[in-house]
Amino acid sequence: MQRKIAVTACLLAMIGVGLGAFGSHMLGDAIGEDSMKTFQTGIQYHFIHALAMLIVAVAMGVWGESRGLAWAAWLFLAGIVLFSGSLYLLSTTGLRIFGPITPLGGVAFIAGWVVLAFSAGRRSEAR
């Protein structure tokens, strides 16, 4: 599971770089300043949580694999898809229907951090 999460995190970071470059070089004039800020927010949270998944993979190597750590990683992935994905779609299509999806991704991010915190606390006590 550790390697699967690490590979997924690296692929997500790579996709984030590609989307960031696409946004900077191709979208700027096409979607307007407000939509570009929305797109950049998606990129920012995408990167932070791709790195969070990589941290989870490293933590698995240090503390051992656990269901909690796996849940944290997959919640971060769900957050990237729902939060960042909805912002990408909202900013590039202008369709407001994607707006209500964004908070679901935010909840997934928060839940991932909570689960990671509990897993870290549990692991540190076991030493």
**Average pLDDT for 21-36:** 88
Q: Match 């240090």 to its residue by tokens.
A: 62
**Average pLDDT for 13-29:** 91
**Per residue in 49-107, pLDDT tens?**
999 999 999 999 999 999 999 999 999 999 999 999 999 999 999 899 999 999 999 99
Q: Are 39 and 88 in contact (CB under 8 A)?
A: yes
User: Distance from CA of residue 83 to its chain's centroid?
Assistant: 8
CA distances (Å), origin 35, targets 16, 24, 44, 69, 100: 17, 12, 14, 34, 16
pLDDT score at 123: 52
- The candidate with the shortest Cα–Cα distance to 59, out of 38, 76, 45, is 76
**In the chain, pLDDT over 70 holds for what percent of residues?**
96
Q: What is the model's pTM?
A: 0.92
